[in-house]
Structure 1
Amino acid sequence: MRIAQVAPLHESVPPKLYGGTERVVSYLTEELVKMGHEVTLFASADSETKARLVPCAPQALRLNSSCQDRLAHHILQLEKVFQMAEEFDIIHFHVDYIHFPLVRRGQTPAVTTLHGRLDIPDLVPLYREFREQPLVSISNAQRLPLLWANWKATVYHGLPKDLYSPYLENGQYLAFLGRISPEKRPDRAIRIAEMAGVPLKIAAKIDEADRPYYEEVIKPLLKSPWVEFVGEIGEKEKNEFLGRAMALVLPIDWPEPFGLVMIESLACGTPVIAWRCGSVPEIIEDGRVGFIVETLEEAVEAVEKIPYIDRVDCRKYFESRFSARRMAQEYLDVYEIVIGESYPLLKAV
């Protein structure tokens, strides 16, 4: 199958540091290539892939200090995609909805995976207008604000099985990995560590939009003797950071669409303690690979019970549910459905 993957340009594919969507696009692209498909990746020029790369920006926009208008690069990307559209059996978009008017007027089948939160009132009239657009959710919970949209499947993220090695000895600290932002609730993570009397290591990036929150709320809390702020880390450091932890804490306060860090942790053999929000109940089997909590007190109790979680089972659970090969195969099934709906007569033959 001739497949186009259209990635956001904010990060490279895969990202050099933080970046969830671009990381998933990378895993999917490389797995489809391994399976023998002809894949073209539209991404920033500093991306690395075994697919054919069509560069759409000189480098990842977040790392380009001279970039003042990120939208301009994404418009140019769309022009490149649709100039080449006839070369593909299907175009797979990962860039929210910016392409919808062009897809509506084009001939090549297309599908869009939505990677972000959808509980935003402004999205409702847009998705109603483009109600015919085939969509993929990354959790069932993500769909809830737009249940009436044209969903074709829920496809959970997956990782290459050899990406991380499991650490089977119990760790000595709690790990927080992600962004410093109000919805990620690093303040809760710090409070859990203090209440449980267990060290916490925070590896997180700080977006400029979240800088005031960091300075006013989080920075004073980092003075706690229980906390070590590591800063932003890349793929090379992640395996050891997560693997040597006793548990990942995900004290989120928002409808998490998926939470890639949860399956990264499980791939390292590390249990997860997560708030009951968004996708969490779909990803974590409570009591088996971690604990789902709703209060600080429950989180502290979960920390005390972590030694009873089998780290070998955490790794097996990851392999059985969240591999990149499973993700790629499910997307191939979606591609077949969308192509069949675009060419019903061909499907009938």
Structure 2
Amino acid sequence: MKVAMIAPIAWRTPPRHYGPWELVTSLLTEALVAKGVAVTLFATRDSQTAGKLDGVVPRGYEEDRSLDAKVWEYRHLSHTFSRAREFDLIHNQADFPAHAFAPLIDTPMVTTIHGFSSERILPMYKPFEDRVHYVAISEADRHPDLRYAATIHHGIRLDEFAFDPVGSEDLLFFGRMHPDKGAHHAIAVAQATGRRLHLYGIVQDAGYFEREVKPHCDGETIVYHGPVGGAERVRALGAAKALLHLIDFDEPFGLSVIEAMACGTPVIAIDRGSMAELIDDGTTGFLVGEPGAAVEAIAGVGAIDRTACRSAVEARFSVETMAENYLALYRRILAA
């Protein structure tokens, strides 16, 4: 089976620190290659893969602001689709612009929808549902008016996330500095409980960060570390009492949630979007209705078995499970 994997080009694949779509694309690509699938990864030219790398974009446009995102996205897609007939299947991880090319080729096509962000994007999905096989990353993120081929949860490489059986007494926030992700809620909860809070993530909304986050960061009780990757990321995910995921939007998945649980850290999350699909309430964390309820939930975190958090990820969110589910979908499509 020959598969063309289209990566987003905001960041390198895999990303150096932030880049969740690029990360999932890389994880799936490498797992498929390990299973003997001939994957060509169409990504930025500085990307890394055990498969075959092809591309025309020199670097991610978020890493080199001299690059015009729209110009290079369409150059990227044009190059990929010019080679469509060489592959049995094209797997698009790069959002809806690729659908513009779908009627021009005969090669079967899959699109993983990394979050159905708005009704406004439906016109670039609905007209192509007879041509493109859509994959939702959670049941919660399915749009009621769109036909899907499957729901496939993300998976991670368990060997990259060391289990921490102890953690610490500190709280953790991991995500974009944006109102949706709720860093301000995490700060309020930490202050109410008298616990130290470590915040990690890129600043996506500078105004929000300056107003709601930075004034509270004293380097002692509320500590902002910026984006983080590699061994430091794993250490941070495991060295916590709990991850606070007090979101203000319907989270389509939440990679940091399963990464934290893989390291043994329970998660306290607002029960919106996919959270009930990832967290077993009372077993791997707590689902709460509003941020204030997280204060009480923290008092119960000590009763959570950190081993149970790790075991839940091993059973349901491994990269092997994700790859097998995608392979099964590919085979169904090609058989038809």
TM-score by length of 1: 0.93
Structure 1 residues 165 and 225: alpha-carbon distance in aligned structure 2, compared to 1, 3 A threshold: closer
Count the aligned residue pairs. Answer: 335
**RMSD (CA atoms):** 1.4
Counterpart residue identity of residue 8, structure 1: P
Question: Which residue is 2:20 aligned to?
Answer: 20
1:170 and 1:197 map into 2 onto residues whose CA distance is 17
C-alpha deviation, 1:130, in angstroms: 2.1
Counterpart residue identity of residue 129, structure 1: P
Post-superposition CA distance 1:192-236 (Å, at most 9, x none): 1011111100011112xx111111222222249531111111133
Counterpart residue identity of residue 55, structure 1: G
Q: 1:240 aligns with which of 223, 235, 257?
A: 235
2:89 and 2:219 map into 1 onto residues whose CA distance is 52
Q: 1:126 aligns with which of 124, 143, 155?
A: 124
C-alpha deviation, 1:65, in angstroms: 3.0
2:172 and 2:330 map into 1 onto residues whose CA distance is 37
Q: 1:251 aligns with which of 237, 240, 246?
A: 246
Q: 1:214 aligns with which of 209, 212, 218?
A: 209
Q: In structure 1, the residue corresponding to 2:201 is in which secondary structure?
A: strand
Question: Which residue is 1:107 aligned to?
Answer: 106
Q: How does 1:161-176 map to 2 (within 5 A)?
A: 161-176=158-173
State whether residues 6 and 42 of structure 2, in contact with CA within 8 Å, keep that contact through their aligned partners in structure 1. yes
2:175 and 2:218 map into 1 onto residues whose CA distance is 20
Question: Which residue is 1:185 aligned to?
Answer: 182
State whether residues 260 and 267 of structure 2, in contact with CA within 8 Å, keep that contact through their aligned partners in structure 1. yes
2:231 and 2:11 map into 1 onto residues whose CA distance is 17
Question: Which residue is 2:38 aligned to?
Answer: 38
Q: In structure 1, the residue corresponding to 2:76 is in which secondary structure?
A: helix
Q: 1:326 aligns with which of 304, 321, 325?
A: 321
1:226 lines up with 2:221 in the alignment: yes
Q: In structure 1, the residue corresponding to 2:231 is in which secondary structure?
A: helix
Counterpart residue identity of residue 323, structure 1: S
Q: How does 1:278-293 map to 2 (within 5 A)?
A: 278-293=273-288
2:106 and 2:170 map into 1 onto residues whose CA distance is 53
1:221 and 1:294 map into 2 onto residues whose CA distance is 24
Q: 1:150 aligns with which of 134, 147, 151?
A: 147
Gaps of 5+ in 1: 342-349
C-alpha deviation, 1:128, in angstroms: 2.8
2:292 and 2:96 map into 1 onto residues whose CA distance is 40
Question: Which residue is 2:79 aligned to?
Answer: 80
Moved over 3 A (4+): none
Post-superposition CA distance 1:218-273 (Å, at most 9, x none): 22222495311111111331110011111111010101110000111011111111
2:184 and 2:321 map into 1 onto residues whose CA distance is 35
C-alpha deviation, 1:105, in angstroms: 2.1
Question: Which residue is 1:347 aligned to?
Answer: none
1:339 and 1:242 map into 2 onto residues whose CA distance is 40
Counterpart residue identity of residue 328, structure 1: A
1:125 and 1:50 map into 2 onto residues whose CA distance is 36
Question: Which residue is 1:7 aligned to?
Answer: 7
Counterpart residue identity of residue 173, structure 2: F
C-alpha deviation, 1:87, in angstroms: 1.5
TM-score by length of 2: 0.96
Post-superposition CA distance 1:146-189 (Å, at most 9, x none): 22312011000001121111000131211101110010110000
1:202 lines up with 2:199 in the alignment: yes
2:88 and 2:125 map into 1 onto residues whose CA distance is 24
2:219 and 2:73 map into 1 onto residues whose CA distance is 42
1:165 and 1:154 map into 2 onto residues whose CA distance is 28
Counterpart residue identity of residue 163, structure 2: P
State whether residues 256 and 279 of structure 1, in contact with CA within 8 Å, keep that contact through their aligned partners in structure 2. yes
2:271 and 2:57 map into 1 onto residues whose CA distance is 38
Q: In structure 2, the residue corresponding to 1:61 is in which secondary structure?
A: coil
Q: 1:338 aligns with which of 330, 333, 336?
A: 333
1:228 and 1:100 map into 2 onto residues whose CA distance is 42
State whether residues 115 and 137 of structure 2, in contact with CA within 8 Å, keep that contact through their aligned partners in structure 1. no
Gaps of 5+ in 2: none
Q: In structure 2, the residue corresponding to 1:99 is in which secondary structure?
A: helix
C-alpha deviation, 1:4, in angstroms: 1.1
